[in-house]
Amino acid sequence: MDERKLARLVTDVVVRRPFLWRFARGRLRDMCDRIAPTWETRLRPEHLDALRLALEGLPAPARVLDVGTGTGVAAHALAAWFPAAADVVGVDLAPGMVAQAAAKGGRARFEVADASALPFAGGSFDLVVLVNAIPFFDELARVTAPGGAIAVSFSRGAETPIFVPEERLRRELGRRGFADFAAFAAPPATAFRALKR
Ligand SMILES: C[S@@+](CC[C@H](N)C(=O)[O-])C[C@H]1O[C@@H](n2cnc3c(N)ncnc32)[C@H](O)[C@@H]1O
C-alpha cells in the first residue's frame, strides 16, 4: 500500500477506534522516519495559511504544543508568531522527524512522544496545534488547559492523506468539553478551532 493510502486508512481507523493504534504505530513510525530527510520537499508555501487564520484573535498563549510536528515547521512558526510564549514544544513519534526539527535551532523544543500517551500533565498547554496529524482526542483534551484552544489544520483540505472531517472534529471535541467551534479556509488548506470550557 502506498504511503498516502496507508496514512488515510490509519487515520480513519484510529479516529474511530483509538485502541487499534498499537497495530499501526510501528509501521507508521518507520515510514515517517524514512521520509523525514525529504519531508519538506512535499510542503507547499501555503502549508500553514489556514492555521494562521485560525489563530488570529486568540489571546497570546504562554504554553504551546504542536502534536505530530514532523520536521517542526509549525512549531517554529508558532515560536515566531507568539514571541512572548514561554514554551513552544513539538512532539513526534518518529525520531528522524524530531532530529530534523531540532537541528534547525530556535526557541521551540522537540521531543519524541506518542500523541496517544503524551508525556505532559493535564492542562499543560494554552494552545494545542495539529497540522496534518492524527488526533487522539482524549489526550488532546487532557493536555489542553481550561480556557485554552485547539487548532487542527489540514494543508490540502480533504485531499490531505491525514484528514478528519469537521463534523467528526466537532463531535469528538464537543464530547470532551470543547465549544466555540470555528472553521477556516485558505484553499486548499482548512483549519478548525475550538476552545476548552
Ligand atoms: C503528515 S506528517 C505532518 C508533519 C507536520 N505536522 C507537517 O505538517 O509538516 C504527520 C506526522 O505525525 C507523526 N505522527 C504520526 N502518529 C503520531 C503519534 N501517534 N504521535 C506523534 N506523532 C505522530 C508522524 O511521525 C509525522 O511526522
The pLDDT, as a whole number, for residue 100 is 98
Cβ of 61 below 6 Å from ligand 1: no
Question: What span, in angstroms and rounded, lies between the C-alpha atoms of 3 and 35?
Answer: 10
Full pLDDT tens readout for the chain, 197 residues: 788 899 999 999 999 999 999 999 999 999 999 999 999 999 998 999 999 999 998 999 999 999 999 999 999 999 999 999 999 999 999 999 999 999 999 999 999 999 999 999 999 999 999 999 999 999 999 999 999 999 999 999 999 999 999 999 999 999 999 999 999 999 999 999 999 99
The pLDDT, as a whole number, for residue 159 is 95
Q: How far is the CA of 27 from the centre of ligand 1 (A)?
A: 13
Question: What span, in angstroms and rounded, lies between the C-alpha atoms of 153 and 131?
Answer: 5
Q: How far is the CA of 142 from the centre of ligand 1 (A)?
A: 19
Cβ of 11 below 6 Å from ligand 1: no
Question: What span, in angstroms and rounded, lies between the C-alpha atoms of 9 and 65?
Answer: 25
Atom of ligand 1 nearest to the CA of 29: 25
C-alpha cell at 100: 530534523
The pLDDT, as a whole number, for residue 58 is 95
The pLDDT, as a whole number, for residue 45 is 87
The pLDDT, as a whole number, for residue 156 is 95
What string of DSSP letters covers 120-185? S-TT-EEEEEEES----HHHHHHHEEEEEEEEEEETTGGGSSS---HHHHHHHHHHTTEEEEEEEE
Q: Is 55 helix (H, G, I), strand (E, B) or coil?
A: helix
Number of Cβ atoms within 10 Å of the Cβ of 43 = 15
Model pTM? 0.97
The pLDDT, as a whole number, for residue 2 is 85
Question: What span, in angstroms and rounded, lies between the C-alpha atoms of 65 and 145?
Answer: 11
133 and 157 Cβ atoms separated by less than 8 Å: no
Question: What span, in angstroms and rounded, lies between the C-alpha atoms of 156 and 174?
Answer: 24
The pLDDT, as a whole number, for residue 118 is 98
168 exposed, middle or buried (CB, 10 Å; 0-12, 13-18, 19+)? middle
